[in-house]
Structure formats: structure tokens, C-alpha cells
Structure 1
Amino acid sequence: MEPCDVCSHPGRNYRKSLSITTLAAMSDRADAGCVPCSVLKGAIRGYYEGMGHTDAIADIDLGLDFNASKEKDRSIGLRILSVTESVPWEPGSSKKRTGHQIKRFEPALRLELFSAKATPWLSRTLPDLPLGHELPVSTCSEKSLAWTVQQIQVCVDSHVACRPSSEPCLPRRVLDLDADCKSGVRLHESSAQRGRYVCLSHCWGKRPFLQTLSSTLNSHLDNIDFESLPLTFQEAIDITRRLGIRFLWIDSLCIIQDHMDDWRAEAAKMASIFQNCYLVVSAAKGSNARDGLYSNFPSRCKTYTAKVSDKQAEDGSTAEETISIRQTLTHLTRAVGAYEEGQQIPLPVVTRGWIFQERILAPRVLHCGPEELSWECREATCCQCIPFPKPSWAHFSKRDFVHEPPPRTAIPNPPSQPRHGLALAQSASHSADFEKSWYRVVEEYTQLHLTHEKDIFPALAGLANVVQSRTNWTYLAGLWREILPRALLWHARTTNAGSSTKRWPNRPRSWRAPTWSWASVDYPVGFDTLNSMEDACEVLEAKCIPAGPDPTGELAPDGTYLVLRGTAIPAVIRLAGRKGDPHKVPTAYEIAELDILRGYMKTFWVDDEWKFILPFSSGFDSQRAVLCLLVARHPVTLTLMFLVVAPVREPWLLQVGQFVAARNSVPYRRVGVVEVAGGPAGLPRNAWQSKLLDLGEERLVRLV
């Protein structure tokens, strides 16, 4: 059957489709016999009737978004772009006819359709229509608590990957919520005591709140005034008690915040703290500690229904179906950048760097969102608007739901536990799985935000410790010795000129990592150029000195370096494409170029803002001598991958470079990565590599 030219349903080959149309055109097609148009028109009318606006509506401009009904997800979304309303004639007015006014929505008003039950007719007519639920009045209601208890019980009873091997030990400090003190809450120091505990995951925000300091430790061990706690902490205590659990771990209260040794020691235990907890409660909607966990269901998301009929019952009468429609809920998503542009902005909790590993390490996470609760564990994800238990009718798609949160970033698990990528198993069959997984972890992590730049390694240390325990690899500034040198070929993911994101990569305000580490830039990075690459240089020496007891934590600048041996080609770097005033500030369009690669097919990613690459004060002809060090090559496509490095001259690197210089060696810093995929026109396919590489010689390069 050919798709309707208005609603584009059914889509060809069950692919995603997006149509821009109007309510008037949909009504015409419905009158002509298009059943999906009739159903969708009825749903839209039902929504506006529920809001009391139907009589005034003359037309609606809208987008129809159909997901792949026979693939992974299914949904029907509506994007209301504008509404044309009739303006009636007023007595005494000079205008004798009805007028119109147009209300535009920027961004578009997003609506979602669902059905409370599955029927064969709806499945045939609108195979993209998911099943859904109306939501409780509040995320702290008894219905919401019962839903949470149900998810926990199913997980405990049937999810092998989520079960602990034994009852875990409590962290060094926890909050005792059944304490014999005035408030019933105090800080408890345990000594190998075993028991269940809940962890709170939340955004700190910028406003100060109660924390445990060296000066308040003793008083917190006696009693913590409940009223002095921010709302998020108070509600975390409430839900933990309602779940029948005595102990709660909150980082700001269970770690002495102004005691660096205590902070580093406890941060090093982050993996075990979150892996061994019974449940993580995530303050998903809050941007600070005062926003709280709980929320009332907003009136803007009220569900409206419409009766639709275009079928005959067995007795010959017309049977009706009920379609529900509401504003799209704020579902759990990954951070911006992991999805295409224009996708829904994620909840605050999934934009924070520290919370990233907490979410992955925990066996179970309960997200408290602005409209509903969402559940994640190592084997399942769901939210309150999804029917539970899932239907199992054979004639429906495997996932007939409004929404399922995306799986969390994968750490590989063995074939014995294949259902979820985060079943953090005791072993993995291939180290390549861990290598690819680590690249994905870093790519997502570098899109997130950290309040303190120096936390770049501590906030990922828990995951690093897990990978280290499974592989016995050596950790080096966010990379692994066993996957060098190719892992050095990360690159900054620069954005389009029209993007609101900063267009040049940048450095942190103070040193936190060597320049060969992705953590040396304050920018999202990618490893997408490494597929099937073979190493083409040798790592002779690699050294990282931790600032504390944890080798995966903060680094000390002195003594952190890397020594490579390979083919190095001298080159000159300058800004390309600059026009007009030679003293104007360069833009993202004016990218860097290398003199030796003119005429070659190449892509050059720089690590720094322009002013950190070239002495711009020299004017239009500013340039810099660099080396292009061959790091990897592709055996089939002949693509070459180079690190572009330059002698250290920047003040912020001189202290680090002095350590290498003291060993009678010139310290170099990384400038960027260049991919060379082809030679100048006229050169045979196998000749351009030799022509280029003959310009170089074998060199030792010490990177800081």
C-alpha cells in the first residue's frame, strides 16, 4: 500500500518518517478514506477539546514523527508548529468579517500519542502507536512507591547480573537514618559492618549547602539537624526510610570535604561504593541540592483522550477505540551530542561528569524526574509511563511502549550475561571489547560538565578501576598502556559554525593532564578514526605520577611524560584561508594547515584555540615549526595517521617540560592529529606514501 501523501503512513520499509502537514489537509484525507489521518485528526481534536480551544481553531501546522514500528523503538510524535485561530467580529468594529491570528511555537509544542491497551485493529492501523500509562499525581505518591518496590522486587528476584555475590560492607561513613539522636539522623562510621545502603546521586549546584568538614565531623557523628539539610537530602532520607533501608550514602556528608587525604582516599573507593549499594536514588530533575527529588505531575502534561472508530464489531455495530494524547514527557536521555541536533535537552543529572560513572557502576538506579520515575538496572530500563509487566502478544512488536531509556554505555560482559552491556562481569573474552568500550566511555564523558576541572580523572576513576581489575592493564592519564600508541589518536570534536557550542577546542585553566591525553583539552573528543588501524611507531617509555594514593586519580605534573620512536617529518603549521585584515582574530573557518600536505587528501584536527598554536602577534604570516610523527596506518586503504607535535614554549608547560629537558631531551607537546587519505593528483596509489614518508627520519620524541 502506498503511503498517504499527508500523514506518510505507513512508512516505506518501516523506516522513521517525518511529515509536515496541516490539520485541514489531514481532515480532507480522512474524508477521502485515510484511516490513520482520521485517527490522528481525532486525537488532535481531543487534545484541544480537553483544553477548551476547539471552537476557535481554524487550522494547525504540524509535524508527524513516526518511528520504525518493526524495529527497535516505536512511537508517534506530533510537533505543533503553529495554530491559526479565528478572531470573531466584534460589534462596533469597522471590520465586518471574521479574522485569524496565528500562534507560533518556538520550539515546537511536542505531543505524544499512545493507547492504554493493545488491540489487533490499532496494531494494523497504526503499527507505530505505542502502549502507555497515565501517571500518578506525584513521584512521592503511594502509587509511585509501589511502582518502585515492584521494580526492585523483579530485579532482586530475576536479574542475575544485578545480584551481589554476598552482602556488601558499608562504606567507611554512612548516614544512619534510625539513629538514637534528636533528629534520628547522624553520621555513622562503620568498621567492616555489612548491610544494605542507598546512594544519592545529585547535582551540587553553585549555592552552598551543609557538608561534613573537619570542624563539623564530630558534631555530625552525634546528630545532624534535619532542617539544616537541603531539600534533596531530606527527600532522599524520606524515600530510603519508606523503602525500609537504614543507611544512606551522600558524598558531601560522608567524605570530609576540606581534608584532601580523606577526599582522595574515599574517591578511590567510588567504584566499590556504587557497585555494592542496594540502590542509587538519582535527583534527575535537580540542578542543585535544593531542587529536591519529588515532583507533582504538571497540568501541562495532562492526558486527553479521543474516541476513534472505523471498524465494525461482530454484531455489525461500529466499535470505538480510545487514543490518548499529551505533551511529551521529559524522558531520560544521554547528554547533548550523543543524539542528533534538535533532540530533547536531557535532565540535569545526565549532564554532570561525576554522575556518569555513578549511573554505570550501580546495580540499580531510580531516577526522580520532573513528571515520572525512571528505572535502570544492569538488565532492564523502564519508566512509569510504560505498561508493566510488558505484554507478550505474538502479533505485536517486541517493544510496544511509549519510551524506553537508552542503554547505558557498555562495559563488555561475557556470553553468559549478554542481555545488558553493563553486566560488569568478572571477565571478558576479548581485550578489543574493552578497548572499544573505553573509547565510547571517554567520548560520552567528555561531553559532560565538571564543577572543578581537576576532577577530570577522579570522576572517572571508578570505571577505570573496574576495567583495570578485568584486564590488568596499566592506566596512563585516561588511556591504557596496552592500547598505545593508536589510542593517542583521539581528536577534538569541533562543531559547525552555526552551533551555539564553542567552535575552537580549549585548554583547562590549569594543568591537569599531559598534552597527549584527551584530558588535556576541555572539549568533547572522538576516537572514530581508529577502526582497523595498525600501530606504526613504538612506545619506549610511559610515566604518570599520581598526586595521591589512587593511580587512576589526579596527576602530578612532574615526571608525567611519554617517549615515542617513529618516523617524524618536519613541517610548518599556519592558519589557512585567512582573508582581508591580517590582524583580525581567526575564525573556525580559518583552520590550520601543514606545508608538507598541500595537495594531499587530509583532515587536520587541532587541539587548541588559535592563540595557543601560533604567535598571532606576528601577523598574517605567523607560523610554527612542528613534527608529524607517524603513529598508525590502515593496511587496506593506506590511510596514514600522524601526531602533530611542537617543541614546548608555552608558559603553562614550561615547568613540566623542565623535567624532560633535564634529561638532555627536547620536550614536545601535542598540537593535533592529521589523517592523510590520499596523495596529490597524478601520483599512483602506492607512491604517495613513499613520497611523503621519505621526507622524514626516525626520531625519539618525548611528549609532556
Structure 2
Amino acid sequence: MALCNVCHDLQVDSTTNLTTEETSQPESYRLRTFSISESLQDWRQSAESGGCAICRLIWQVLSRFDDDKDSVLDKLLRIPPPSSSTCSDDSIYLELSGFIGHPLLLQFVDLPNETYFPTLELFCRDDTSNCFQIIGAASEVASDLDLSLCTRLASKWLQDCQLKHPRCAAQRSSTLPTRVLDIGESLTTASIRLLETGPSQNAEYVALSYCWGKTGNITTTRSTLIERKKDIAWGILPKSFQDAIEVVWGLGIRYLWIDALCIIQDDVADWESESAKMADVYENAFLTISMDGARDPTQHIFAARQSDMISTADTLNTGRTARPARNVAVERFPFTGKAGETYVVYAREPLTHSDIISPRSYYDVTYPLMSRAWTLQERLLSGRILHITAAELIWECTTTLCCECGTISRESTYLSGNPSPKIAYDIAMQNIIEEGRNALHVKAQQQPKQSNEEPLTPKTTREWTLLIGGYSNRALTYENDKLPAISALARRFSLTDELPIPRTYLAGLWLEDLPWLLCWRVFQRRFEKRSETYCAPTWSWASISTPVIWDKEIFEAKACIEVLDAGAAPFGQANVFGRVKGAYAVLRGPVQRAVLEVADVRHTAVSALRNIRGERVFFVPDLNPTVQHYARDISFGPQTQAEFHSGPSSTSRRVISPTLREGGEIACLWLLQGDTEDKAYALVLVPALDDANAGCPGKHSNAAMFERVGLITAMSRVYQQNDVPARRWFAGTEMETVCII
């Protein structure tokens, strides 16, 4: 019997598989994919003619989710189909796509503006057989989350991970952190207290990842430490902490780590020491419970689900009608097969997963925890995570990603070809370790101070730029936490525990490939002022509160500069990857002098520079050129490198950053050159004030002192019209040595 020429009887074969151009998955996966797209009129005609039961099922599903009062389908059917003589590019197509074993997606392609129709998914229940191999099983999500459901699912996922994921088990140590909460076995049999552990004391423990919020948290301080070690009354614990403890009891684990209670919050030395151990805390945890849906600890996680939640990505202004809340209904459709057998197919709007697979932190409100800076490293370093979101439970480990509704793996791997953030990080770290060992061998063959025209560790540098690009979008309560909140990941990237000579960390960048890492630029001109307290040197992305990115083309460019010297003095000795009290970079390369032009630039993303020949080039400023800068404190002054790293300067001066103004004098240090004339990257610098410091540390104390204010990048070339290419703009420059702070 011939197949229906519209739905193809939902058969998975070479005519319905994705092509090699449409998916990056291996061939074995591609052959299990399904994708068809036909005009809406063809679907209706096939359904109403009585000839195809499957097309009739698809039309019934669409009709059930259509608006009864103002039918969207009727409006779409009035748009001429492709076969019409009045056909235009506005024809409406319905696409069915899926992967064997997963629910089948129904979605319209290129709906007109001001028109919305939900994407739908067809699935069968876990315990129901199905006549369509392309309509896989999924689960319905309970309308309320309670302790029983949470512990049952968590225990199942945990058991599967322990039995089926050898990599997850191999990565974890069981050494307890400095302090943990001893919660006993239940509230009726034991009190809760803060336990200070002994050296190398081993036991399984759970770590908590949550939003501190603005109110409702409980902490350990120097004045409450003794009291916390004796007893922590149940009634003073925030609701989220109480719920987390009950889950840990349900899993049969005795110890819980919560940063607010296990770090002495008003003890700087303890905070520095414990923040330096953050990588070990989360990596060694048996499980991390992530309170993704709670804005602060006062919220109960055992409550009614927000099943109508949609992704914040869908709420952005895209020129279409604002998406309504998700329809939580699960509709049932009986279906009779060709042999007369009866099946049931279910349809619903898919739950939101995009924000947990690819968090869009700078505007994300779907999962509040994803918008916080500290929680990025908590997520990536944890071996296993139970995500408790407002809509469902999600499990994430270094092997898999699964969810309560049963569809997240389709989004994260099968069709898109993209692994989850945790799996991507794990793969990246394997590559970084291998590259680091190779780079160590190359470095050993080089002469001292020899500079590289190409990145020494391109994979590592690229991964770091991607990591920081996402991290810089995240929010911090305290500005000076910008480096500490990423310090655990920095420690892992340094390969301190892998190589005899680790990488050199410089206030958020790495010495090994510094010319390329200096090429960050602000993202989407979201200008904010620099911190009023010193966080990092101006050449570091950590010096500003604006999201940053690196152009991917920089890794194909060659360095034009030599790094003569660079250093960063850590704020304390406990965490060398944390806060810094001063930093410098001494670079030698081509320098072009110019003046700033603001008024005659039509594009808000860039400003202009005019060199001594009158030629103009555009650049991306770090800060708004029309805004007066702030004052900040900076400790800097020792004349030798040894003194610089030994401790704070004896003097601390008040330094006012130079103001970007029309006609202001600028120095441009040419960093990288790409394969064409217009692909040049250069730091835009202004002289530091005379009293900024007593000179650059070490033997380059006479070098001219500068601060960074922007970047000339290949991207800024798109705004230019008749101006000269960047390489020509730099013609005639002389080599200079500069010290940037």
C-alpha cells in the first residue's frame, strides 16, 4: 500500500531523515531522525478527504489547541497555498520533526507577525505501547511537588547514575569540606549542628546551590560560630534550607554543605581560604541540590508547580505577538491502527528547557539561579545535580541530562547536536589537559621570553573566552566578587593539579596567550561604569560590569606585540585566583597616536579615532564616552616584582580615571593582525594620571603608563564606509613599550 504523500505514514526512512547538512550528529543518529514539512492546506485536505487516518489525527490535535473564539487555523488557511496562482513566500507550512524514541514535535514554520500558534508534542505514556516508532514515550508532570515525589525521582536517577555511569563515579572523592551541617537522620532523632571536620575525614555529603536573595538568609559569623556548633534550631532555618534537609534525609545522607552556614561570613581570612576550596567542595559532593526556581531561601520548593511557565527568550520583543502562558492541558487522542488495534496518543505544549540547556543569564528570570555569577562554577564543577525548578525536576551529571517530563534529552543532544553545559565542560577539560601537556613540551623547547605569533593553547583560550562571555552576563551582589566567583574554574583551567608548571593567571586572563585574551569587547553596548572599588586592571574584563565577548576570528590572527612582563598581586595568599589589589602588563608593539571623535559618529556601538594623517578608524569603547568616569581606590607602588607580589603597597592613592571626551588624546597598541587589511585588533589607551602609581614594577619602571578604554576590532569595521582599513591606519607606527594598569 502506498504511503500518504503528506504525512508519509510517519515512517522513518531515507525520504524523511534529516540530511547531512541539517544535522551535525553521526550517521547512526541521522538515520533515526524524522522531518517533513507540508502546506497547511495539504494537511487539511488529506485529513478531511477521509483517506489518511494519521493526517486526520494531526488535524484533530491542531484543532484541539486552536482558539475556539478566534481561530488561528482559519486565518492561516486563508493565506494562499504554494500551488495557488497567487502564491507568495507567505505560504504556511506545518513541520513534523522527531527522533526515534522521543516525542514528535508539531510546529508551524514562519508564521506571520502578530500570529501565534503553540508548538505541540505527541507522545505515548511510559506504560503504553504505540504503533508509531517516531512517537516515543514521555511522562506527565504532577501539578504539585512534594517530598515523596522529589525523593523518589532523585533516588531513581541517582541509582541509575551509580550503576550505569562509571565516569560519574570515578570523578568523585569523599573528603568532607572544612565544615558541614550534621543533620542526623531525621528531625525527630537528631539535632542539626555545624560540624568542623578533621583532616581527610571521609563521608558522603550533599552541597546546596541557591540564590542568597536580599532577605531571609541565615549565616555563621564569628559571634555565632560556637552556637552553630552546638545546635541550629529547625525554626530559624529558611524554608528552602528546611526542604533541602528533608530531601537529603530522604536520600539517606547525613551531611549537607551550605555556604552561608559553613563559611564564617564576617571573617575575611576564613572566607578567602574557603572560597579557594570551592572547586573541591562541589566536585567532591555526592550530589548538589540546585534550587533553580527560588529567588531566595524563604521560598518553599514543595508547592504548586508553575507549569504554565514559558522561557524568557519567548517574551522578548521579536516583532510577533507576545506569547501567552503555556497551556498546561494534556489532551488524549484514541487512534485505530491499520489492523484495527486501538492506541492512545497524547498531545501537549512542551515544557520549557532552553534556559537550562543554554542559559541566557542577562535577562533570564525563568530560573533565577541561572542569573547569578557564583552558581556557574557550582553547576559546572558538581558531578551530579538535582535541579528543582518551578515547573519540574531535572537531573544533570557528567554523562546525561534528563527531566521529569522526559523530553529534555531530545533538545540537548539528539536533534541540535549540542551537549548539556556540564557535559560540554567535561569534554573541554579533557581537551585542555591534553593541550596543556603538549604546550608544556613546546614551551620547554623555546628560548626564555620568546613570544608566539599564534596562540600557544588555542583550545584552552577559546574555551576560557566562551566561559567568561557567559559568566560576564551574570549578576553579583558584591562587585568585588567578580574574580572570586569564577576562581574555582580558574584553578581548574590553570591545570595546577595536572602539570608540574601550571598556567599563569592574571586577574581573569592567562599569560600564555595574553595578546589574544586582551581582545575582549563590551557586548551590545550595555555600558556601565567601572566598580567604585578596585576589582581588576583596566585590561581585564573583570574591571567593568558590562557583558563581554571575544570575536572568534581572533584565533586566526597573529600577534604583533611582545609581552615583556605582567603580574597580578592577589588580595590574600589563600586564594591566588581570587581578588587582586593591583596588576600590570608591560607590552611592546606598534603604537599609533590619535584623537577621539564622538559627535560625528552615527552608530551608538562605536566611537571614532583619527590619526595624525587625518585617517579615521572606529573602535568599541569600554565605557560610555559621554559619561564622566568615577574615582576608585588602587594599591600600586612597589618598584620590584618581588615587592609587588609580597603584599599591599605602603601607600594607597585615590585615582581618577581619564575622561573620554571629544578631541581627547589616544594611544592605540596594535595587538593582532588577521588575514585581511581590515582584520586588526588594538587596545585603545589613555595616559594614566601622574599620581596613579610610582611606576611600573620591575625593570620597566620607566615605561609610559596607560589605562585601557576600548578596543579596535574587526567587528567595528562594519560601521565604516569610506574610511581606510585598520592595517593602513596603523602604517608608519613605531615600536613602543607601554605599561597598562
Normalising by the smaller structure, the TM-score range is 0.7 to 0.9
In 1, Cα distance between equivalents of 2:99 and 2:677 = 36
In 2, Cα distance between equivalents of 1:515 and 1:37 = 62
Give the structure 2 partner of residue 450 of structure 1. 476
Give the structure 2 partner of residue 169 of structure 1. 175
Give the structure 2 partner of residue 279 of structure 1. 287
Which 10-residue stretch deviates more, 284-293 or 661-670?
A: 661-670
CA contact under 8 A between 2:176 and 2:205: conserved in structure 1? yes
* 1:517 matched to 2:547: no
In 1, Cα distance between equivalents of 2:301 and 2:141 = 17
Q: Residues 538 and 80 (structure 1 numbering): CA distance in 2 closer, same or farther, change over 3 Å?
A: closer
Q: Residues 333 and 165 (structure 1 numbering): CA distance in 2 closer, same or farther, change over 3 Å?
A: closer
CA contact under 8 A between 1:599 and 1:681: conserved in structure 2? no
Aligned residue identity for 2:237:
L
CA contact under 8 A between 2:174 and 2:284: conserved in structure 1? yes
Aligned residue identity for 1:155:
C
* 1:40 matched to 2:27: no
1:152 is displaced (CA, Å) by: 1.2
CA contact under 8 A between 2:97 and 2:105: conserved in structure 1? no
Q: Match for 1:623 among 663, 688, 694?
A: 663
1:442 is displaced (CA, Å) by: 0.6
Cα deviation digits, residues 73-104 of structure 1 (max 9, x gap): 9762659999xxxxxxxxxxxxxxxxxxxxx9
1:168 is displaced (CA, Å) by: 2.3
1:589 is displaced (CA, Å) by: 2.7
In 2, Cα distance between equivalents of 1:109 and 1:186 = 50
Report sequence identity in percent: 26
- Aligned runs of 1:144-543 on 2, under 5 Å? 144-164=150-170, 167-178=173-184, 184-192=191-199, 193-298=201-306, 300=308, 302-307=328-333, 309=335, 311-313=337-339, 317=340, 319-326=342-349, 328-329=351-352, 332-333=355-356, 337=360, 346-386=366-406, 406-408=420-422, 410-411=424-425, 413=427, 421=428, 428=435, 431-468=457-494, 469=496, 470=498, 472-494=502-524, 503-528=526-551, 529-543=553-567
Cα deviation digits, residues 388-433 of structure 1 (max 9, x gap): 9x9xxxxx999779999833374464xxxxxxx5679965566432
RMSD: 4.6
CA contact under 8 A between 1:506 and 1:607: conserved in structure 2? no
SS class of match (2:611): helix
CA contact under 8 A between 2:678 and 2:725: conserved in structure 1? no
Give the structure 1 partner of residue 706 of structure 2. 668
In 2, Cα distance between equivalents of 1:349 and 1:509 = 26
SS class of match (1:169): coil
Q: Which runs of 5 or more residues in structure 1 are unaligned?
A: 83-103, 391-395, 414-420, 496-502, 580-587
CA contact under 8 A between 2:599 and 2:662: conserved in structure 1? no
1:318 is displaced (CA, Å) by: 6.9
Cα deviation digits, residues 261-291 of structure 1 (max 9, x gap): 1111111110111111101000010111112
SS class of match (1:210): coil
Q: Residues 657 and 337 (structure 1 numbering): CA distance in 2 closer, same or farther, change over 3 Å?
A: farther
In 2, Cα distance between equivalents of 1:402 and 1:42 = 28
In 2, Cα distance between equivalents of 1:399 and 1:175 = 37
In 2, Cα distance between equivalents of 1:321 and 1:116 = 9
CA contact under 8 A between 2:287 and 2:386: conserved in structure 1? yes
In 2, Cα distance between equivalents of 1:397 and 1:336 = 14
* 1:551 matched to 2:576: yes
In 2, Cα distance between equivalents of 1:331 and 1:682 = 42
Q: Which runs of 5 or more residues in structure 2 are unaligned?
A: 8-14, 24-34, 77-91, 309-326, 439-456, 631-658
In 1, Cα distance between equivalents of 2:110 and 2:594 = 53
In 1, Cα distance between equivalents of 2:379 and 2:94 = 30
Aligned residue identity for 2:162:
V
Which 10-residue stretch deviates more, 290-299 or 450-459?
A: 290-299
1:156 is displaced (CA, Å) by: 1.8
Q: Residues 490 and 2 (structure 1 numbering): CA distance in 2 closer, same or farther, change over 3 Å?
A: farther
1:614 is displaced (CA, Å) by: 9.6
1:493 is displaced (CA, Å) by: 1.2
Give the structure 2 partner of residue 85 of structure 1. none
Aligned residue identity for 2:469:
E
SS class of match (1:526): strand
* 1:114 matched to 2:123: yes
Q: Match for 1:31 among 24, 29, 48?
A: 48
Give the structure 2 partner of residue 701 of structure 1. 738
1 or 2, which has the higher strand percentage? 1
TM norm structure 1: 0.76
CA contact under 8 A between 2:503 and 2:510: conserved in structure 1? yes
SS class of match (2:139): coil
Aligned residue identity for 1:625:
E
Give the structure 2 partner of residue 416 of structure 1. none
SS class of match (1:702): strand
CA contact under 8 A between 1:46 and 1:304: conserved in structure 2? no
1:181 is displaced (CA, Å) by: 10
Give the structure 1 partner of residue 319 of structure 2. none
Q: Residues 26 and 404 (structure 1 numbering): CA distance in 2 closer, same or farther, change over 3 Å?
A: same
In 1, Cα distance between equivalents of 2:107 and 2:721 = 50
Give the structure 2 partner of residue 648 of structure 1. 688
Give the structure 2 partner of residue 498 of structure 1. none
CA contact under 8 A between 1:573 and 1:623: conserved in structure 2? yes
- Aligned runs of 1:567-586 on 2, under 5 Å? 567-577=590-600
Aligned residue identity for 1:607:
D
Aligned residue identity for 1:672:
G
In 1, Cα distance between equivalents of 2:120 and 2:94 = 10
In 2, Cα distance between equivalents of 1:443 and 1:272 = 24
Give the structure 2 partner of residue 393 of structure 1. none
In 2, Cα distance between equivalents of 1:269 and 1:70 = 42
Q: Residues 405 and 205 (structure 1 numbering): CA distance in 2 closer, same or farther, change over 3 Å?
A: farther
1:701 is displaced (CA, Å) by: 1.0
1:150 is displaced (CA, Å) by: 1.9
Aligned residue identity for 1:252:
A
Aligned residue identity for 2:737:
L
In 2, Cα distance between equivalents of 1:79 and 1:296 = 31
Aligned residue identity for 2:712:
V
Q: Match for 1:608 among 590, 602, 623?
A: 623
In 2, Cα distance between equivalents of 1:71 and 1:623 = 64
In 1, Cα distance between equivalents of 2:401 and 2:519 = 34
1:478 is displaced (CA, Å) by: 0.5
Cα deviation digits, residues 10-66 of structure 1 (max 9, x gap): 7985959999998x9964563256777533332244457xxxx96x66555689885
Q: Residues 145 and 521 (structure 1 numbering): CA distance in 2 closer, same or farther, change over 3 Å?
A: same
Cα deviation digits, residues 221-276 of structure 1 (max 9, x gap): 00001111101100111111110100000000001111111111111110111111
Q: Residues 67 and 556 (structure 1 numbering): CA distance in 2 closer, same or farther, change over 3 Å?
A: farther
Q: Match for 2:607 among 576, 581, 592?
A: 592
In 1, Cα distance between equivalents of 2:529 and 2:94 = 37
TM norm structure 2: 0.73
1:563 is displaced (CA, Å) by: 0.7
SS class of match (1:122): coil
Which 10-residue stretch deviates more, 423-432 or 284-293?
A: 423-432
Aligned residue identity for 1:565:
R
Q: Residues 597 and 59 (structure 1 numbering): CA distance in 2 closer, same or farther, change over 3 Å?
A: farther
Number of residue pairs aligned between Structure 1 and Structure 2: 624
Aligned residue identity for 2:195:
H
In 1, Cα distance between equivalents of 2:22 and 2:239 = 45
SS class of match (2:518): helix
Cα deviation digits, residues 581-619 of structure 1 (max 9, x gap): xxxxxxx6373111139998966221111235899xxx9
Q: Residues 319 and 111 (structure 1 numbering): CA distance in 2 closer, same or farther, change over 3 Å?
A: closer
1:154 is displaced (CA, Å) by: 2.0
